[in-house]
Each structure stands twice: as structure tokens, then as C-alpha cells.
Amino acid sequence: MRFIFVFALLLGMTGPLWAQHGGHGGGRPAGGGGRSDWTAQPLLLVGRDDDDRGSASLRLRGAQAPSVTVFGPAGGQREFQLADGRAKIEVVDAGTGNYHWVQMRDEQEGHVAVASTVWFSSVSGPAPRRLLDTRHSELEIVPMPLPREHAAYRESEKWGFTVRYQGQPLAGQRVFMETENGTRGAFITDAQGMATVLFPRDFDGKPGGGHGARLSAGFVLGTEHMSDGRHFVTTFNFSYREDADRGRSLGWGAAFGVLGMASALPLLRQRRKRSANKE
């Protein structure tokens, strides 16, 4: 398995944060399905299977791995083999859907690298609270909460992501962000290990989706931690959408306001005329 974890140092700094680590050979995608060169981080991209709500297609970019592990909302897990970086994944428990945690792992002496995403199955299932509370690896970036069904992360919104090590929150931890639209940023976790991530308003100049569709793009969050001489690296990737209010013109809003005032003028004149006649 081979991962390349290379984040550019942000906020005025330059150079690689994480060096390259060698390893063993080995719908709409969640995390963006357009360009493949916007990040050096591995991406787990999940696409819908129109024929089966209980399965999905998974594509791995930026890494090689023999398999991925899918964790179900009820606590179970299944491993799926990758062939040429692709696999068909399924719900862990038959007939039980909602959010699932998808993860690949590369562990070698002194270094543990983990990449994760989530997959939503439209088959009904329990809320993802247990899924998010369950520890899936030593170092994790966990969304708290996840968007509800038919909802999404959106630009200009703030969402919480918890960084945990061995199940415990990491305070003062730096979390880096990259987006498919070219934004780079960094956030610091608070005393509860929570990083409040502001999704950038960076869909400016992008062609519209058409027919009322909202544009989406991939993002990836990453962090690292040293403990007992071991280097832990973890990422979480998914997608976010353009602001729902984007494209609404303030000029048109003002025009409608003026039109409304103009429409009210005849009524005001009639009211004043009636008042004058009564006097």
C-alpha cells in the first residue's frame, strides 16, 4: 500500500508538512468527481448505485490499497477488496442503511496513515450518533454532526469536526483544509477537540449546474500526531455545495421592493381621500 500525504504549510509558511511515506504495494462522488490533481491526499470517492440503494461504487484516488473497511451504523463492519482502485461496497447489515464510515489504512513501522469518508445509503437505518462515537482508528477527524438526508455542507457555513486520539479529544490540534476549488486553510481545535470549519465561498466564476442544480466540489481535512515514537496521519474527505443564496440578485430584490411601494401608492391615495371626506 502506498500513501502520499503532502500538505503545503499554510498561513505564510512554505514547504511540505508531511513527507512522502513508502508503503506496501498493494450519482455524484463524495469528495468531488471532477479534477483529480487538486490535492496530493488520498481520496475515497463514493458514487450512487442507481440499481441498488444498499450498495455504492467506490473509487480510490491518490493511493494504492488492497481493500477498504466499511463500518455500519449498528456497530458491524465489512472489508471489501479493491481492484484497480475500485470496489462495490454494500451496507454492513442487510436492509440497514443511513450513514456508513468508509476507511483505508496503511500501517508500517513508526507510521500509521488512515483516510476516511462517509457514505449515505438511502435505505432506512439508525441515526449516525453511534457510528460517530465509535473509534475506528487511533487518530481521527470526525464530523460532528453530519448533514441530514438531502442536506449538505455548503460554502459560507460553519461545521464542527472533532479530532480524537485513542478516543480522546485533542485540544490545540491544527487541522488543514484543501478544496477542489483551490482554497487552502487551517483551523485549531478547542478544549473539546472541536475544530469549527468555515467552508470557503469559492464557487465564484464557476459555471452553473443548470436546471436548478447546485454545484459541488470536494474537500479534504488532515492532521498529524506523534505519540510514543509513532507518527499518525489521518484525513477525512467529502463534498460541499455552493451557497443556496448564490445567484439571488440584490438588485432584483431592490427592484421588487420599489415595485411593491409603487403598487401601494394608489391605496395610500384612496385612504387619504376617504379621510379627507370624513373631515
pLDDT of the residue at 16: 32
Positive/negative CA dihedral, 11, 16, 17, 23: positive
pLDDT of the residue at 246: 74
Q: What are the residue ranges in the chain where pLDDT is below 70?
A: 1-36, 50, 207-213, 247-279
pLDDT of the residue at 212: 53
Domains and CATH numbers, the chain: 2-248 (2.60.40.10)
- CA torsion, points 71, 77, 83, 86, in degrees to nearest 10? -20
pLDDT of the residue at 252: 40
**Average pLDDT value over all residues in the chain:** 81
pLDDT of the residue at 158: 97
pLDDT of the residue at 162: 98
Please state, in angstroms and rounded to a whole number, the distance separating the CA atoms of residues 128 and 117: 14
Unique residue bearing C-alpha cell 477527524: 141
Q: What is the pLDDT of residues 112-121, one digit of tens each?
A: 999 999 999 9
- Do 50 and 27 form a contact (C-beta atoms < 8 A)? yes
